[in-house]
A and B are shown apart, each in its own frame.
Chain A
Amino acid sequence: MAQIARWQGRSVYAFTRSGDIAAQDFARQLGAVWAGASGELPDTPLDAAIIYAPAGELVPAALPAVRKGGKVVCAEIHMSDIPSFPYDLLWEERQLVSVANLTRQDGLDFLKIAPQAGIRTRTTAFPLAEANEVLTKLRTGQILGAAVLKP
Protein backbone atom coordinates (compact mmCIF):
# COMPACT_ATOMS: atom_id res chain seq x y z
CA MET A 1 0.00 0.00 0.00
CA ALA A 2 2.82 2.37 0.93
CA GLN A 3 4.58 1.58 -2.35
CA ILE A 4 1.46 2.31 -4.39
CA ALA A 5 0.76 5.53 -2.48
CA ARG A 6 4.30 6.72 -3.07
CA TRP A 7 4.07 5.81 -6.74
CA GLN A 8 0.90 7.92 -6.93
CA GLY A 9 2.90 10.82 -5.60
CA ARG A 10 1.29 10.93 -2.18
CA SER A 11 3.07 11.65 1.03
CA VAL A 12 2.79 8.69 3.37
CA TYR A 13 2.80 9.15 7.13
CA ALA A 14 3.24 5.89 9.03
CA PHE A 15 1.99 5.37 12.56
CA THR A 16 3.17 2.38 14.54
CA ARG A 17 2.96 1.08 18.05
CA SER A 18 4.87 3.36 20.41
CA GLY A 19 8.55 2.48 20.48
CA ASP A 20 8.45 0.15 17.48
CA ILE A 21 11.52 1.70 15.91
CA ALA A 22 12.03 -1.22 13.53
CA ALA A 23 8.56 -0.77 12.04
CA GLN A 24 9.10 2.97 11.72
CA ASP A 25 12.45 2.41 9.99
CA PHE A 26 10.81 -0.07 7.64
CA ALA A 27 8.10 2.46 6.82
CA ARG A 28 10.74 5.05 5.95
CA GLN A 29 12.50 2.49 3.75
CA LEU A 30 9.23 2.11 1.88
CA GLY A 31 9.13 5.85 1.30
CA ALA A 32 7.16 7.25 4.24
CA VAL A 33 8.01 10.93 4.73
CA TRP A 34 7.21 10.64 8.42
CA ALA A 35 7.00 7.77 10.86
CA GLY A 36 6.05 7.91 14.50
CA ALA A 37 3.87 6.52 17.25
CA SER A 38 0.11 6.24 16.87
CA GLY A 39 -0.35 8.76 19.68
CA GLU A 40 1.63 11.47 17.91
CA LEU A 41 0.28 14.09 15.52
CA PRO A 42 2.32 15.21 12.53
CA ASP A 43 2.50 18.96 11.87
CA THR A 44 0.36 18.66 8.73
CA PRO A 45 -3.34 17.71 8.75
CA LEU A 46 -3.78 14.52 6.74
CA ASP A 47 -6.26 14.01 3.91
CA ALA A 48 -7.04 10.47 5.00
CA ALA A 49 -6.04 7.84 7.52
CA ILE A 50 -6.15 4.07 6.99
CA ILE A 51 -6.15 1.89 10.08
CA TYR A 52 -4.62 -1.55 9.55
CA ALA A 53 -4.98 -2.72 13.12
CA PRO A 54 -7.90 -4.33 14.95
CA ALA A 55 -7.67 -1.75 17.74
CA GLY A 56 -10.77 0.42 18.13
CA GLU A 57 -8.94 3.02 20.20
CA LEU A 58 -7.10 4.05 17.04
CA VAL A 59 -10.30 5.56 15.59
CA PRO A 60 -10.49 8.54 18.00
CA ALA A 61 -6.71 8.75 17.74
CA ALA A 62 -6.86 9.05 13.95
CA LEU A 63 -9.75 11.52 13.65
CA PRO A 64 -7.82 14.53 15.04
CA ALA A 65 -5.07 13.87 12.51
CA VAL A 66 -7.26 14.32 9.43
CA ARG A 67 -8.28 17.66 7.95
CA LYS A 68 -11.82 18.97 7.61
CA GLY A 69 -13.66 16.69 5.19
CA GLY A 70 -11.01 14.02 5.60
CA LYS A 71 -11.62 10.28 5.90
CA VAL A 72 -10.68 7.61 8.39
CA VAL A 73 -10.82 4.13 6.84
CA CYS A 74 -10.98 1.04 9.06
CA ALA A 75 -9.53 -1.76 6.99
CA GLU A 76 -9.86 -4.63 9.46
CA ILE A 77 -12.61 -7.22 9.44
CA HIS A 78 -12.48 -7.40 13.21
CA MET A 79 -11.91 -4.43 15.51
CA SER A 80 -12.23 -4.03 19.23
CA ASP A 81 -14.91 -1.65 20.51
CA ILE A 82 -14.38 1.96 19.58
CA PRO A 83 -14.25 4.13 22.70
CA SER A 84 -16.68 7.03 22.90
CA PHE A 85 -15.27 10.31 21.67
CA PRO A 86 -16.39 13.95 21.40
CA TYR A 87 -18.51 14.75 18.37
CA ASP A 88 -16.06 17.53 17.61
CA LEU A 89 -13.61 14.92 16.35
CA LEU A 90 -16.06 13.89 13.62
CA TRP A 91 -17.58 17.29 12.92
CA GLU A 92 -16.58 19.42 9.92
CA GLU A 93 -17.57 16.62 7.55
CA ARG A 94 -14.95 14.11 8.50
CA GLN A 95 -15.99 10.61 7.47
CA LEU A 96 -15.48 7.30 9.19
CA VAL A 97 -15.87 4.19 6.96
CA SER A 98 -15.00 0.50 6.92
CA VAL A 99 -13.76 -1.76 4.13
CA ALA A 100 -15.60 -5.03 3.47
CA ASN A 101 -14.13 -6.55 0.34
CA LEU A 102 -12.69 -5.74 -3.03
CA THR A 103 -14.77 -5.20 -6.12
CA ARG A 104 -13.91 -6.92 -9.35
CA GLN A 105 -12.91 -3.54 -10.75
CA ASP A 106 -10.50 -3.01 -7.83
CA GLY A 107 -8.79 -6.26 -8.79
CA LEU A 108 -8.52 -5.36 -12.45
CA ASP A 109 -7.25 -1.85 -11.64
CA PHE A 110 -4.69 -2.86 -9.05
CA LEU A 111 -3.18 -5.76 -10.97
CA LYS A 112 -2.75 -3.50 -13.97
CA ILE A 113 -1.05 -0.82 -11.92
CA ALA A 114 1.14 -3.06 -9.73
CA PRO A 115 3.77 -3.86 -12.40
CA GLN A 116 3.86 -0.23 -13.54
CA ALA A 117 4.45 0.88 -9.98
CA GLY A 118 7.21 -1.69 -9.54
CA ILE A 119 5.65 -3.17 -6.43
CA ARG A 120 8.12 -5.41 -4.63
CA THR A 121 7.14 -8.24 -2.33
CA ARG A 122 9.32 -10.25 0.01
CA THR A 123 8.58 -13.94 -0.45
CA THR A 124 9.90 -17.38 0.42
CA ALA A 125 8.79 -20.34 -1.73
CA PHE A 126 8.05 -23.82 -0.38
CA PRO A 127 6.89 -27.06 -2.04
CA LEU A 128 3.13 -27.63 -1.90
CA ALA A 129 3.66 -30.83 0.10
CA GLU A 130 5.13 -28.73 2.93
CA ALA A 131 1.92 -26.75 3.47
CA ASN A 132 1.49 -28.00 7.02
CA GLU A 133 5.03 -27.03 7.96
CA VAL A 134 4.54 -23.61 6.38
CA LEU A 135 1.32 -23.05 8.34
CA THR A 136 3.17 -23.93 11.53
CA LYS A 137 5.95 -21.51 10.68
CA LEU A 138 3.43 -18.79 9.96
CA ARG A 139 1.67 -19.49 13.23
CA THR A 140 4.91 -19.20 15.18
CA GLY A 141 6.22 -16.15 13.39
CA GLN A 142 9.09 -17.92 11.64
CA ILE A 143 8.32 -16.60 8.18
CA LEU A 144 9.93 -13.43 6.91
CA GLY A 145 7.69 -11.73 4.40
CA ALA A 146 5.14 -13.92 2.63
CA ALA A 147 5.27 -17.70 2.23
CA VAL A 148 4.29 -19.05 -1.16
CA LEU A 149 3.56 -22.69 -2.05
CA LYS A 150 4.63 -24.11 -5.38
CA PRO A 151 3.04 -27.34 -6.68
Chain B
Amino acid sequence: MRYLGTTGVLAEKQAHAMMLSAPRAPLQMQERADPNPGDGQIRVKVSACGVCRTDLHVVDAELPGIKYPVVPGHEIVGRVDLVGSRVTTHRIGDRVGIPWLGYTCGVCRFCKEGMVNLCDRPLFTGYTRDGGFATHTIADARYAFPLGEDGDDVSIAPLLCAGLIGWRSLVMAGGGAARHLRLRCGRAHRGPDRALAGPVCLRLHAIR
Protein backbone atom coordinates (compact mmCIF):
# COMPACT_ATOMS: atom_id res chain seq x y z
CA MET B 1 0.00 0.00 0.00
CA ARG B 2 1.14 3.51 -0.69
CA TYR B 3 0.13 6.56 1.15
CA LEU B 4 0.38 10.21 0.49
CA GLY B 5 1.84 11.97 3.46
CA THR B 6 1.14 15.60 4.14
CA THR B 7 4.52 16.35 2.59
CA GLY B 8 3.09 15.11 -0.67
CA VAL B 9 5.75 12.40 -0.84
CA LEU B 10 4.61 8.94 -1.73
CA ALA B 11 5.90 6.42 0.75
CA GLU B 12 6.83 3.12 -0.84
CA LYS B 13 7.30 0.93 2.16
CA GLN B 14 4.41 -0.99 3.65
CA ALA B 15 4.20 -0.71 7.40
CA HIS B 16 5.39 -3.80 9.26
CA ALA B 17 5.24 -4.78 12.90
CA MET B 18 6.31 -7.63 15.14
CA MET B 19 2.96 -8.66 16.57
CA LEU B 20 2.16 -10.61 19.71
CA SER B 21 -1.05 -12.54 19.05
CA ALA B 22 -1.35 -14.70 22.16
CA PRO B 23 0.36 -15.22 25.52
CA ARG B 24 3.90 -16.56 25.14
CA ALA B 25 3.59 -16.84 21.36
CA PRO B 26 6.56 -15.86 19.22
CA LEU B 27 6.23 -12.41 17.73
CA GLN B 28 5.31 -12.51 14.06
CA MET B 29 6.27 -9.99 11.42
CA GLN B 30 3.08 -8.79 9.83
CA GLU B 31 2.22 -6.25 7.23
CA ARG B 32 -0.24 -3.71 8.50
CA ALA B 33 -2.58 -1.30 6.94
CA ASP B 34 -0.91 2.07 7.04
CA PRO B 35 -1.87 3.47 10.41
CA ASN B 36 -3.38 6.90 10.38
CA PRO B 37 -3.21 9.23 13.36
CA GLY B 38 -6.44 10.38 14.96
CA ASP B 39 -7.16 13.57 16.83
CA GLY B 40 -4.22 14.58 18.95
CA GLN B 41 -2.06 11.84 17.53
CA ILE B 42 0.98 11.61 15.31
CA ARG B 43 2.41 8.83 13.23
CA VAL B 44 6.08 8.13 13.81
CA LYS B 45 8.47 6.31 11.51
CA VAL B 46 10.43 4.26 14.01
CA SER B 47 14.22 4.35 13.76
CA ALA B 48 15.09 2.53 16.99
CA CYS B 49 13.23 0.82 19.81
CA GLY B 50 14.89 -0.48 22.93
CA VAL B 51 14.04 -3.88 24.37
CA CYS B 52 13.59 -4.24 28.11
CA ARG B 53 12.44 -6.78 30.62
CA THR B 54 8.95 -5.35 30.71
CA ASP B 55 8.64 -6.52 27.10
CA LEU B 56 9.28 -10.01 28.42
CA HIS B 57 6.51 -9.53 30.97
CA VAL B 58 4.17 -8.54 28.13
CA VAL B 59 5.17 -11.50 25.96
CA ASP B 60 4.84 -13.84 28.94
CA ALA B 61 1.41 -12.38 29.82
CA GLU B 62 2.62 -11.55 33.32
CA LEU B 63 0.84 -8.21 33.19
CA PRO B 64 -2.96 -8.02 33.31
CA GLY B 65 -5.20 -6.59 30.61
CA ILE B 66 -3.15 -7.20 27.47
CA LYS B 67 -5.32 -6.73 24.40
CA TYR B 68 -4.18 -9.03 21.63
CA PRO B 69 -2.78 -8.58 19.13
CA VAL B 70 -0.33 -6.01 20.44
CA VAL B 71 2.98 -4.64 19.22
CA PRO B 72 5.47 -4.52 22.12
CA GLY B 73 8.18 -1.91 22.59
CA HIS B 74 8.16 1.28 24.64
CA GLU B 75 11.58 2.89 24.18
CA ILE B 76 10.86 4.40 20.80
CA VAL B 77 12.90 6.90 18.82
CA GLY B 78 11.68 8.01 15.42
CA ARG B 79 10.54 10.87 13.25
CA VAL B 80 7.08 12.26 12.81
CA ASP B 81 5.81 11.40 9.34
CA LEU B 82 2.14 12.25 9.66
CA VAL B 83 0.31 14.64 11.97
CA GLY B 84 -3.29 14.17 13.06
CA SER B 85 -5.84 16.89 13.55
CA ARG B 86 -5.56 19.27 16.49
CA VAL B 87 -1.84 18.67 16.85
CA THR B 88 0.08 21.91 16.95
CA THR B 89 3.13 20.76 18.85
CA HIS B 90 4.76 18.51 16.24
CA ARG B 91 5.80 18.84 12.64
CA ILE B 92 6.69 16.26 10.04
CA GLY B 93 10.36 15.41 10.38
CA ASP B 94 10.63 16.15 14.10
CA ARG B 95 12.60 13.55 16.02
CA VAL B 96 10.64 12.30 19.01
CA GLY B 97 10.90 9.80 21.84
CA ILE B 98 7.91 7.75 22.99
CA PRO B 99 7.92 6.23 26.49
CA TRP B 100 5.89 3.64 28.39
CA LEU B 101 3.22 6.10 29.50
CA GLY B 102 1.39 6.60 26.20
CA TYR B 103 -1.91 8.26 27.12
CA THR B 104 -3.62 9.87 30.06
CA CYS B 105 -7.34 10.66 30.23
CA GLY B 106 -7.09 14.32 31.12
CA VAL B 107 -10.35 14.28 33.06
CA CYS B 108 -9.72 12.27 36.24
CA ARG B 109 -8.86 14.15 39.41
CA PHE B 110 -5.19 13.23 39.13
CA CYS B 111 -4.85 14.50 35.57
CA LYS B 112 -6.70 17.68 36.47
CA GLU B 113 -4.34 18.26 39.36
CA GLY B 114 -1.25 17.75 37.19
CA MET B 115 -0.45 14.29 38.49
CA VAL B 116 -0.74 12.55 35.14
CA ASN B 117 1.57 9.84 36.43
CA LEU B 118 -1.31 8.71 38.64
CA CYS B 119 -4.04 8.87 35.95
CA ASP B 120 -6.98 6.56 36.60
CA ARG B 121 -7.25 5.48 32.96
CA PRO B 122 -3.78 5.47 31.41
CA LEU B 123 -2.61 3.55 28.37
CA PHE B 124 0.87 2.12 28.13
CA THR B 125 2.96 1.89 25.00
CA GLY B 126 3.68 -1.64 23.86
CA TYR B 127 1.26 -3.07 26.41
CA THR B 128 -2.25 -1.62 26.24
CA ARG B 129 -1.55 0.23 23.00
CA ASP B 130 0.73 -0.68 20.13
CA GLY B 131 4.40 0.08 20.57
CA GLY B 132 7.62 0.37 18.66
CA PHE B 133 8.63 -3.08 17.45
CA ALA B 134 7.47 -1.80 14.08
CA THR B 135 8.30 0.41 11.15
CA HIS B 136 5.63 2.91 12.20
CA THR B 137 3.65 3.64 15.31
CA ILE B 138 0.85 5.95 16.35
CA ALA B 139 1.48 8.07 19.42
CA ASP B 140 -0.44 10.55 21.51
CA ALA B 141 1.33 13.80 20.70
CA ARG B 142 1.41 14.68 24.41
CA TYR B 143 3.59 11.65 25.02
CA ALA B 144 5.94 12.04 22.08
CA PHE B 145 8.78 14.05 23.55
CA PRO B 146 10.92 16.28 21.34
CA LEU B 147 14.48 14.94 21.15
CA GLY B 148 16.32 17.56 19.15
CA GLU B 149 19.18 16.36 16.99
CA ASP B 150 21.93 15.57 19.50
CA GLY B 151 22.93 11.93 19.81
CA ASP B 152 22.18 8.90 17.67
CA ASP B 153 18.83 7.15 17.76
CA VAL B 154 20.08 3.81 19.09
CA SER B 155 21.93 5.37 22.01
CA ILE B 156 18.94 7.48 22.97
CA ALA B 157 16.35 4.69 22.93
CA PRO B 158 17.16 3.26 26.42
CA LEU B 159 16.79 6.71 27.92
CA LEU B 160 13.06 6.52 27.16
CA CYS B 161 12.66 3.97 29.93
CA ALA B 162 15.61 3.43 32.26
CA GLY B 163 16.75 7.02 31.95
CA LEU B 164 13.34 8.50 32.61
CA ILE B 165 12.80 6.28 35.62
CA GLY B 166 16.14 7.21 37.09
CA TRP B 167 15.25 10.85 36.60
CA ARG B 168 11.86 10.46 38.23
CA SER B 169 13.52 8.74 41.19
CA LEU B 170 15.89 11.65 41.56
CA VAL B 171 12.98 14.09 41.44
CA MET B 172 11.19 12.08 44.11
CA ALA B 173 14.35 12.00 46.22
CA GLY B 174 14.30 15.77 46.33
CA GLY B 175 16.41 16.31 43.27
CA GLY B 176 15.98 20.04 43.15
CA ALA B 177 18.73 22.54 42.87
CA ALA B 178 20.88 21.44 45.81
CA ARG B 179 24.23 20.61 44.32
CA HIS B 180 25.66 18.87 47.34
CA LEU B 181 22.82 16.45 47.90
CA ARG B 182 24.14 13.03 48.65
CA LEU B 183 22.35 10.13 47.23
CA ARG B 184 22.05 6.63 48.33
CA CYS B 185 21.88 4.48 45.25
CA GLY B 186 20.63 1.13 46.40
CA ARG B 187 21.52 -1.13 43.55
CA ALA B 188 21.51 -4.26 45.60
CA HIS B 189 20.56 -7.40 43.74
CA ARG B 190 21.13 -5.82 40.39
CA GLY B 191 23.94 -6.48 37.95
CA PRO B 192 26.08 -3.53 36.95
CA ASP B 193 24.84 -3.18 33.39
CA ARG B 194 21.30 -3.32 34.55
CA ALA B 195 21.80 -0.11 36.41
CA LEU B 196 21.66 1.68 33.09
CA ALA B 197 19.13 -0.23 31.10
CA GLY B 198 17.29 -3.54 31.33
CA PRO B 199 15.25 -4.30 34.38
CA VAL B 200 15.43 -0.85 35.84
CA CYS B 201 12.46 -0.35 33.56
CA LEU B 202 10.35 -2.55 35.75
CA ARG B 203 10.28 -0.09 38.51
CA LEU B 204 8.18 2.57 37.01
CA HIS B 205 5.62 0.67 35.10
CA ALA B 206 2.61 1.38 37.21
CA ILE B 207 -0.17 -0.77 35.86
CA ARG B 208 -2.73 -0.29 38.54
Q: What is A's interface to B at a CB cutoff of 8 Å?
A: 1-2, 4-5, 8-17, 22-23, 25-27, 30, 32, 38, 44, 46-55, 58, 62, 65-66, 71-73, 75-78, 97, 99-104, 106-111, 113-115, 119-123, 125, 128-129, 131-132, 134-135, 138-139, 143-151
Across-interface contacts of A2 in B (CB, < 8 A): 185, 195
Are B163 and A10 neighbours in the complex by a CB distance under 8 Å? no
Across-interface contacts of B179 in A (CB, < 8 A): 8-10
Confirm or deny: B61 has a beta carbon within 8 angstroms of a beta carbon on chain A: no
Minimum CB–CB distance for B187 against chain A, Å:
5
Are B185 and A78 neighbours in the complex by a CB distance under 8 Å? no
Are B154 and A125 neighbours in the complex by a CB distance under 8 Å? yes
Are B116 and A13 neighbours in the complex by a CB distance under 8 Å? no
Given contacts A4-B170, A99-B204, are A50 and B192 in contact (CB under 8 A)? no
Q: Closest residue to A15 on the B side, CB-wise?
A: B186
Interface of B, helix, strand, loop or mixed by DSSP: mixed
Confirm or deny: B36 has a beta carbon within 8 angstroms of a beta carbon on chain A: no
Across-interface contacts of A151 in B (CB, < 8 A): 16, 46-47, 134-135
Given contacts A121-B159, A148-B157, are A10 and B192 in contact (CB under 8 A)? no
Can you list 9 pairs linking A and B with CB atoms under 8 Å apart? A10-B179, A16-B188, A44-B182, A50-B169, A102-B99, A107-B143, A110-B164, A114-B151, A128-B16
Are A110 and B118 neighbours in the complex by a CB distance under 8 Å? no
- Give the interface centre of A53, A65, A128, A129 by most chain B CB atoms within 10 Å: A128
Are A103 and B164 neighbours in the complex by a CB distance under 8 Å? no
